[in-house]
């Protein structure tokens, strides 16, 4: 059987945890929220970067199915990158996909945004962004992120 030249470029499994383990401070943040009764139901789908497919820039995506608790759930703390990034939040309601189907709090520098519409967010290199807090999820939300870097690295 002839192996296809670009078969390795098609990622169907999430290899990111093996390549970029979740930092201990993020694990603690999620555990603390869970102990307080604020839980997120999510499925990490795929991540890609140079360590997975040689030459690839970073991208990742996941489904957010719901949140429990009254405080919302923070899935990312404030940070910056030495590259540009795009974050996408997309609603899944067929009758109105431009509606997010929930409410997400997002910060850029010291500006707070409450997002209720499907959107793409451009974050210029060096811009402090997040936290990213899912306040309400009425219908599944697709989360996408990409950066013009071959690896996903956070700067303080």
Domain residue extents for the chain: 39-147
Residues paired with 42 in a beta bridge: 64
pTM: 0.91
Q: What's the pLDDT tens digit per position in 121-136?
A: 999 999 999 999 999 9
Q: Which residue, among 130, 152, 112, 10, has the nearest Cα to 73 in the 3D structure?
A: 130
17 has a pLDDT exceeding 90: no
Q: Which residue, among 52, 50, 44, 45, has the nearest Cα to 18 in the 3D structure?
A: 52
- Predicted local distance difference test score (pLDDT) of residue 21: 77
Which CATH architecture group holds 39-147? Answer: Sandwich (2.60)
Q: What's the pLDDT tens digit per position in 31-76?
A: 999 999 999 999 999 999 998 999 999 999 999 999 998 889 999 9
> Considering only 5-9, 59-63, 107-111, 144-148, which range has the smallest mean pLDDT?
5-9
């Amino acid at each position: 059987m002839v192996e296809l030249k670009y078969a390795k470029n098609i990622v169907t499994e999430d290899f990111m945890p093996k390549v970029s383990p979740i930092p201990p401070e993020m694990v603690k943040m999620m555990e603390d929220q869970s102990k307080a009764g604020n839980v997120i139901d999510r499925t990490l789908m795929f991540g890609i970067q140079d360590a997975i497919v040689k030459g690839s820039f970073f991208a990742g995506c996941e489904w957010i199915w719901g949140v429990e608790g009254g405080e919302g759930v923070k899935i990312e703390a404030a940070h910056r990158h030495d590259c540009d990034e795009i974050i996408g939040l997309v609603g899944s309601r067929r009758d109105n996909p431009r509606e997010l189907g929930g409410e997400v709090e997002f910060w850029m520098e010291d500006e707070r945004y409450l997002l209720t519409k499907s959107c793409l967010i451009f974050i210029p290199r060096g811009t402090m962004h997040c936290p990213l807090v899912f306040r309400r999820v009425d219908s599944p939300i697709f989360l996408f992120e990409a950066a013009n870097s071959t690896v996903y690295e956070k700067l303080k």
